[in-house]
Amino acid sequence: MTERTKYVLDETRIPKSWYNPAADLPAAAPARHPVTGRPITPDDLGAIMPRDLIAQELSTEREIEIPGPVRRAYARWRPSPLFRAWGLERALGTPARIYYKYEGVSPTGSHKPNTAIAQAFYNKEAGVARLVTETGAGQWGSSLAFAGAMFGLDVKVYMVKITYHQKPYPKSLMETYGAVCVPSPSQETAAGRAILAEDPECSGSLGIATSEAVEVAIGDSRTNYAGGSVLNHVVTHQTVIGQEAMLQMDMANDWPDVVIGCAGGGSNLGGLAFPFIGERLRTGRKVRVIAAEPTSCPTLTQGRRVYDYGDTVGLTPCLMMHTLGHSFVPPPLHAGGLRYHGIAPLVSQALALGLMEAVAVPQTDCFAAGVLFARSEGIVPAPESTHAIRVAIDEAKRCREEGRAQTILFALSGHGLFDLPAYTRYLTGQLRDEPCDQDRLDRSLAKLPVFAEQ
Ligand SMILES: *Cc1c(COP(=O)(O)O)cnc(C)c1O
């Protein structure tokens, strides 16, 4: 075993195609029209998405070629580095070998530009003038703003009101890239006005902001919607992470027994894990995959796998996914990127097939893991990413107890430099764990769409 810390690939090794997980999984339950309940058609999505992305959303082809301009844009920061976590291993005294694939090297500090760049490219090609979207913690909004700047598209972002006021820097970043950022719910849309009429103090949610963005896209032929996670084509775009990681694990002469990622909408986890899962399905090469989610928003461990809307109002297609119910508003935990009621249908399907496991972890344990990671590896992780670190540490401790030298690979989906106020709250003992409120969850699950059980 070589004693290297960092595994780097040159630009020519940026993958030439995305891996579509649907190719190796059994046929999935189709997305359904929000009003008629019928399987959606490309025409249904045409009002909010360009043809190429719709084709990818519905595709079962294994490889989807990455267009040249997208690969060139990726080359600004890809291939991303893979690190061996020597410092963390020493701090834990574990025989496990721990690796992490670091996506914080992108211009906005997370994995999200991997799909933002692709979506901006296809929309530009289709003659679209403007993209509209929602953002919770701000990473998706700033990544789309960056991609819009790269391809000459206007970008408008509905940002969950509570984070808009609590986290000012993501908004500054979006505006620096030339995007417009509006707190949601807003008076600009029927969806926002209806919610404010009911509750003028509403602090917003990702589901509400999505309703506003989709409404705007439906109502304007030159404006399209761009999604930051959950959708099939987004997970597919993120597989550049796992494909590169496979080459880098080969360089390290090693291979993961366990692959771990935090799960909000499922895109960084899916992006890292699906290329490994695909290989397992095709060749039988074993790998365990673990999704790490917050106990306060336990979509995979306590939600149900049924049809549900992606937004609060019910404008998006219904997806067969693990969900807490589209009206569920998670408590204001600091990992804003993990505060979503649903999760990618592809990830939900992999869990149902036993190709993945899921673990819920409380936020104070995650911040403890994040601080240990910062002190042993030098990178301050995004609060979302600390969930993956927590589970990786727990696996490494188990290896120590059982005297087994397993190889653990996790996705470090982003850095936490926009989240230092949250670290201060943790370090000064002000952070609390908020369990998921069972009553609210039951009420929300009672409001699933009527054809949810089909
Ligand atoms: C958005 C985000 C997540 C959660 O989204 P997924 O689609 O589940 O990957 C995780 N980590 C970071 C840093 C994010 O910005």
104 Cα to the center of ligand 1, angstroms: 11
Ligand 1, residues 140, 206, 267: which to mutate, most atoms within 8 A of Cβ? 267
User: Stretch 411-419: mean pLDDT, rounded?
Assistant: 96
Given pLDDT bands bounded at 50, 70 and 90, which one contains residue 198?
Answer: very high
Ligand 1 site-directed mutation target among 157, 413, 419, most atoms within 8 Å of CB: 413
Q: Which of 230, 231, 262 to mutate to test the pocket of ligand 1 (most atoms within 8 A of CB)?
A: 262
Average pLDDT over residues 265-276: 98
Distance 3 CA to ligand 1 centre (A): 31
pLDDT above 90: residue 354: yes
What mean pLDDT is reported for the chain?
95
Residue 190's φ and ψ, nearest 5 degrees, are: -60, -40
Residue of the nearest CA to atom 1 in ligand 1? 337
Residue 390 lies in a domain: yes
Q: What distance in Å separates the CA atoms of residue 392 and residue 405, rounded to the nearest whole number?
A: 13
User: How many Å is the maximal CA-CA distance in the chain?
Assistant: 63
Structural domain count of the chain: 1
Q: How many angstroms separate the Cα of 308 from the Cα of each of 90, 204, 444?
A: 45, 19, 11
The residues pairing with 223 across neighbouring beta strands, listed in sequence order, are 130
Of all atoms in ligand 1, which is nearest to the CA of residue 338?
A: 4
Give the model's pLDDT for residue 346: 98
* Omega cis (within 30) before 79: yes
Which residues sit with their C-beta closer than 6 Å to ligand 1? 110, 112, 139-140, 229, 262-269, 337-338, 382, 384-385, 413-414
Ligand 1 atom 2: the closest Cα is on which residue?
337
Question: Which residue has the least CA distance to atom 13 on ligand 1?
Answer: 414
Query: Whose alpha carbon is nearest atom 15 of ligand 1?
Result: 139
**What local confidence, expressed as pLDDT, does residue 311 receive?**
93
pLDDT(403) > 60: yes
99 within domain boundaries: yes
Residue 339 CA, ligand 1 centroid: distance in Å = 10
User: Is residue 99 pLDDT above 60, yes or no?
Assistant: yes
Cβ atoms of 139 and 110 closer than 8 Å: yes
- At residue 450, does pLDDT exceed 90? no
Residue 125 lies in a domain: no
Q: Please indicate, yes or no, if residue 147 is contained in any of the structural domains.
A: no
Distance 197 CA to ligand 1 centre (A): 31
Residue 444 counted as domain residue: no
Nearest CA to ligand 1 atom 3: 337
Confidence category of residue 435, pLDDT binned at 50, 70, 90: confident
Atom of ligand 1 nearest to the CA of 228: 7
- Ligand 1 centroid to Cα of residue 404, in Å, is 31
Q: What is the pLDDT of residue 35?
A: 92
- Whether omega before 185 lies within 30 degrees of 0, making that bond cis, reads yes
Specify the range with the lowest mean pLDDT, choosing from 193-197, 299-303, 350-354, 448-452. Answer: 448-452
* Nearest atom of ligand 1 to the alpha carbon of 415: 13
Instruction: With respect to residue 403, please indicate whether it lies within any of the assigned structural domains.
Output: yes
Confidence of residue 384 (pLDDT cuts 50, 70, 90): very high
Nearest CA to ligand 1 atom 10: 384
| Alpha carbon of 402 to ligand 1 centroid (Å) | 32
Tell me, in angstroms, the distance from the centre of ligand 1 to residue 264's CA: 6
pLDDT > 70: what percent of the chain? 99
- Residue 17: Cβ within 10 Å count: 15
Which atom of ligand 1 lies nearest, measured to the CA of 270?
A: 9
Q: Distance, CA 11 to ligand 1 centroid (Å)?
A: 24
In a domain, 157, yes or no: no
Say what the pLDDT of residue 2 is. Answer: 56
Beta strands 357-361 and 288-294 are parallel
Task: Determine which of 11-15, 142-146, 357-361, 444-448 has the lowest per-residue pLDDT on average.
Answer: 444-448
CA of 335 to the centre of ligand 1 (A): 9
Q: Please check the confidence at residue 434 and state whether its pLDDT lies above 90.
A: no
314-328 core/surface letters (b: 16 or more CB in 10 A; e: else): bbbbbbbbbbbbbbb
Average pLDDT over residues 93-112: 98
Domain at 333, CATH number = 3.40.50.1100
Residue ranges making up the domain that contains 83: 76-109+233-437
Cα separation, 239 vs 230, in Å, equals: 13
| Centroid of ligand 1 to alpha carbon of 399 (angstroms) | 27
Q: What is the mean pLDDT of residues 12-38?
A: 96
The Cα–Cα gap between 237 and 68 comes to 14
- The 3-class SS string of the chain reads CCCCCEECCCHHHCCCEEECHHHHCCCCCCCECCCCCCECCHHHHCCCCCHHHHHHHHCCCCEEECCHHHHHHHCCCCCCCEEECHHHHHHHCCCCEEEEEECCCCCCCECCHHHHHHHHHHHHHCCCCEEEEEECCCHHHHHHHHHHHHHCCEEEEEEEHHHHHHCHHHHHHHHHCCCEEEEECCCCCHHHHHHHHHCCCCCCCHHHHHHHHHHHHHHCCCEEECCCCCCHHHHHHHCHHHHHHHHHHHHCCCCCCEEEEECCCCHHHHHHHHHHHHHHHHHCCCCEEEEEEECCCCHHHHCEEEEEECCCCCCCCEEEEEECCCCCCCCCCCCHHHCCCECCHHHHHHHHCCCCEEEEECHHHHHHHHHHHHHHHCCCECCCHHHHHHHHHHHHHHHHHHCCCCEEEEEECEECCCCHHHHHHHHCCCCCCCCCCHHHHHHHHCCCCHHHHC
Which numbered atom of ligand 1 lies nearest the CA of 271? 9
For residue 238, give the ligand 1 atom closest to its CA.
9
Atom 14 of ligand 1: nearest residue by CA position: 337
Could you tell me if residue 298 is inside a domain?
Answer: yes
pLDDT at res. 399: 96
CA distance 145 to 87: 35
Q: Are 410 and 100 in contact (CB under 8 A)?
A: yes
